[in-house]
Amino acid sequence: GIQVEQSPPDLILQEGANSTLRCNFSDSVNNLQWFHQNPWGQLINLFYIPSWTKQNGRLSATTVATERYSLLYISSSQTTDSGVYFCAVESKVSGANNLFFGTGTRLTVIP
């Protein structure tokens, strides 16, 4: 199946700093999604982004499908941004719109 790799695995930031999280995938995809898992375990959909760039407040994401990667930008980080960020891809050859997840980037924002 498709391989999804995220980097870095762990990231510690001072509040107010910016960061970039990366997601690489091994095959062509129909779409890509970014999720945030908060410290209580809830998974929240941040972006549905098959290609190009989207922005939502301090967060933005860019997917370059032809080069098989996506980037999640967090600006002016806040302690509430802490948690684990996952990217998930839907392979062009998968069934039923299945999503395959990377192992995540654990972000800790220090006050």
Partner 1 sequence: DAGITQSPRHKVTETGTPVTLRCHQTENHRYMYWYRQDPGHGLRLIHYSYGVKDTDKGEVSDGYSVSRSKTEDFLLTLESATSSQTSVYFCAMRQGNTEAFFGQGTRLTVV
Phi, psi (rounded to 5 degrees) for 67: -105, 5
Closest CA relative to residue 24, chosen from 5, 9, 7: 5
Pick 18 or 45: Cβ nearer partner 1: 45
Query: Nearer Cβ to partner 1, position 45 or 80?
Result: 45
Site string for partner 1, 36-65 (x = CB under 8 A): -----xxx-x--x-----------------
63 neighbors 76 (Cβ within 8 angstroms): no
Q: Of residues 28, 58, 98, 110, which one binds partner 1 by CB under 8 A?
A: 98
Beta-ladder partners of 35: 45, 86
Taking CB under 8 A as the rule, does residue 108 contact partner 1? no
What DSSP designation does 9 have?
A: S
Residues that bind partner 1 (CB under 8 A): 1, 4, 30-31, 33, 35, 41-43, 45, 48, 86, 88, 90, 95-104
